[in-house]
Structure 1
Amino acid sequence: MKMIKIGDIVEVTITGVQPYGAFATLSNHLTGLIHISEISEGFVKDIENFVHKGEKVRVKVIDIDNATNQAKLSLKAIDSKSKRRERRLSYKNQRKQIRETPKGFEPLKEMLPIWITEELMKLEEKIHD
């Protein structure tokens, strides 16, 4: 079995999620923590928006305490580039799927005065009730 070292990118299984981070198991009898600050480059309000218990994710090993067999792990160290790439590809695919109709915005332009009138009538009804 390959020895895990600092800087390695490994697959882990999330074993628990707390407000401050996610716990994971690695091979070689190591356990680890992905601290909330290592989940994403952006603000993380809820860790479960990023990982769930039982999920397998790839992380970077940023430190290992051999005395306790615990590792500090980072999701953001490897995820930011791949996530940006996925979003870019997804955006390109969405753009290909969206086809403009020959009428463009004309149907909206035609309907807008009708919708405004309908909403104004509803407001007047509420005032008179």
Structure 2
Amino acid sequence: MKLKIGDIVTGKISGIRTYGAFVNIDGVAEQGLIHISECKNGYVTNLEQIFQLGQTVKVVILDIDEYTGKISLSTRALQKTSYNLEHYHKKRYWTNYKNKIGFQTIAAIKPIWVQEVLKNIN
């Protein structure tokens, strides 16, 4: 079986460690690893609460190292996000934007700044 990045494949959990879960992919000799950060959306404390040995999982291939042949997998990429991806930023101003004063505040304080700098230089 020829694997490509982005393929969705099934496999069985063959090992669970603190850093991730190993998966035997059907039809492939090399095991893949689901890193703990790619298991699910949110914070993961214990992988044994998510996976059990021998469990069949559907995963996405994130990367295949061309030299070592190691396969990086993700189950998180298959999950729907539980939060709104559209984030609206409200523009905040340090002054009242309704007052059309332009650079008047800077112009008013500029002579004071110049005096402070000249005093520090001399």
TM category (shorter chain) comes to 0.5 to 0.7
Are the counterparts in 2 of residues 29 and 69 from structure 1 also a CA contact under 8 Å?
Answer: no
Please state how far the C-alpha of 1:12 moved relative to its aligned partner: 1.1
The answer to whether structure 1 residue 10 and structure 2 residue 9 are counterparts is: yes
Partner of 2:90 in structure 1?
A: none
Partner of 1:71 in structure 2?
A: 71
1:57 alignment partner AA: V
Q: Deviations over 1:21-57 (max 9, x none)?
A: 0011112212110000000111101111111111110
Instruction: Detail structure 1 runs of 4+ shifted over 3 Å in the superposition.
Output: none
Alignment partners' CA distance in 2, 1:66 and 1:56 = 26
Gaps of 5+ in 1: 85-129
Partner of 1:54 in structure 2?
A: 54
Partner of 1:38 in structure 2?
A: 38
More helix by share: 1
Identity, in percent, stands at 41
TM-score, with length taken from structure 1: 0.58
Gaps of 5+ in 2: 83-122
Partner of 1:29 in structure 2?
A: 29
Provide the aligned length of Structure 1 versus Structure 2. 81
Are the counterparts in 2 of residues 20 and 35 from structure 1 also a CA contact under 8 Å?
Answer: yes
Give the SS at the match of 1:37: helix
> RMSD of aligned C-alpha atoms?
1.6
Report 1:90-129 matches (<5 A): none
